[in-house]
Amino acid sequence: MSSALILPESIATRISTARGPAVAARVGIALGVSITLCFLTGLISHWIQHPPTWFYWPANPVWLYRFTQGAHVISGVIAMPLLLVKLWAVYPRLFGRPLIGNPVRMLERGSIALLVGSVIFQLVTGLFNTAQFYPWKFFFTTTHYAMAYVAAGALAIHLAVKLPIVHTALSRPVVAPPESESAGQPDPEGAHRPEGEVAQQQPGTPVASTGISRRAVLSTAGIAAVVAGLAVAGQTVPFLRWISVLAPRSGQGPQGVPVNRSAADAGVETTARDPAYRLEVRVGGRQREFTRADLAALPQTAAELPIACVEGWSAEARWTGVRLRDLLAAVGEFHGGDVRFESLESGGLYRTSVLPSRHAIDAATLVALRLNGEDLTVDHGYPCRLIAPNRPGVLQTKWLSSIEVLS
């Protein structure tokens, strides 16, 4: 049985000559690179928040999470125009006959359906997350994480099935030879057809170019990908903010830092300003309470640390407060260990966080009281908050109520 596919004549005679393996293979490589980078950086982000026992994330360099999460969002946005061009190039193949065919074709079609569906889901939900817009009922983090494996698995199957076609397509030039040279020769890339499909023209018929050229399609795809990346890159790269017109976060906000979750949203406006506020610190069997004035009276340390969030934005800031290891030593003997922080918030998934020992002992890890030369505003965590190097903003617990050494 032949593996060749035949397009209905009504479609084969109308599709652009730019549609086919030459464009699909080249755009597909760029798309695959973008998706792979997005997948790997997404895994890092998830494992930092929900670390497996084997996972290790360093405290330095302090900009590393800012870089990986920025790359995650930018690569995802770049993938969007590439995916559209890829779908445009291969779309006619959906009408190829037979619709189902042999087991290999069934696997190919199944992997395409799964790949396209899962990638679209990931890109759309990820884009909405950058804008903190959630028009769905499921929990974004776990669903996005699970679907990432589905997309990666479908991509691996798709590559395995298509590898011979991709190899052949890449070995041929993007621009088809002139008609005078192609006259009397078979169509070199099936210009009217998606890959693997039988030619509709008679032998010896010149290949007529219709519509946009392949080179124009590839150039447009590349430009669109660069423009899309620049449109959001300013969230991570400050000097690009002036052209990042689609970035949901400009880097601006109270005290020069954006706010994701305000005190009103967290329901702590009153308790955070309560004169009776005390920070409870427990080290081993010892316990001590600190007022904000007590914290301010301790030796103060300043640290230049970026704060970076899972939505992709980040901002450099100067934080001032009590070095965590000094505060713990003021209560009891601290020789390292994981440390748990609790917020004044009464609920919410991130009202507590656990700081690994390597971050807890780092000299730049602070119980911060001030931001960019001013007392913390209540939306930035007044009366005090955690700030540690190379950590997602969602784990930099605000409105601290207690600190406890776990081990």
In terms of DSSP H, where are the helices of 340-404? 357-360
Peptide bond connecting 61 to the previous residue in cis, omega within 30 degrees of 0: yes
Q: What is the largest CA-CA distance in the chain?
A: 91
Q: Which amino acid is at 308?
A: A
For the chain, what is the total number of helices (H) and then of strands (E)? Answer: 12, 10
Query: Which pairing describes strands 339-343 and 314-323: parallel, antiparallel, or unpaired?
Result: unpaired
323-343 burial string, b = 16+ CB within 10 Å, else e? bbbbbbebbeebeebebebbb
| Distance (Å, whole) CA 262 – CA 268 | 9
DSSP per-residue string spanning 149-210 = HHHHHHHHHHHHHHHHHHHHHHTS-SSPPPHHHHTTS--SS-TTS-TTBPP-SPTT------
**Strand-pair partners of 331:** none
Distances (CA, A) of 390 to 57, 83, 262, 302: 8, 32, 22, 16
- Under a CB-based contact definition with an 8 Å cutoff, are residues 367 and 321 in contact? yes
- Under a CB-based contact definition with an 8 Å cutoff, are residues 162 and 112 in contact? no
pLDDT of residue 190: 43
- Under a CB-based contact definition with an 8 Å cutoff, are residues 290 and 279 in contact? yes
69-107 burial string, b = 16+ CB within 10 Å, else e? bbbbbbbbbbbbbbbebbbbbbebbebbeeeeeeeebee
Give the confidence band of 243 by pLDDT, cuts at 50, 70, 90.
Answer: confident
Alpha carbon 239 to chain centroid distance?
20
Range in 61-65, 169-173, 197-201, 301-305 the model is least confident about: 197-201
> Does residue 90 or residue 402 have the better pLDDT?
402
280-319 burial string, b = 16+ CB within 10 Å, else e? ebbbeeeeeebebeebbebebbebebbbbbbbbbbbbbeb
According to the per-residue pLDDT averaged within each range, which of 11-20, 237-246, 263-272 is highest?
263-272
- Under a CB-based contact definition with an 8 Å cutoff, are residues 42 and 104 in contact? no
The predicted model scores a pTM of: 0.84
Give the confidence band of 2 by pLDDT, cuts at 50, 70, 90.
Answer: very low
pLDDT of residue 198: 41
Q: Encode pLDDT of 259-271 as tens digits.
A: 989 999 999 999 9
Q: Can you read off the two tokens belonging to residue 380?
A: 């930035």
| Distance (Å, whole) CA 213 – CA 145 | 38
Q: Encode pLDDT of 98-152 as tens digits.
A: 677 777 777 777 878 888 999 999 999 999 998 888 998 888 999 999 999 999 9
- Under a CB-based contact definition with an 8 Å cutoff, are residues 108 and 166 in contact? no
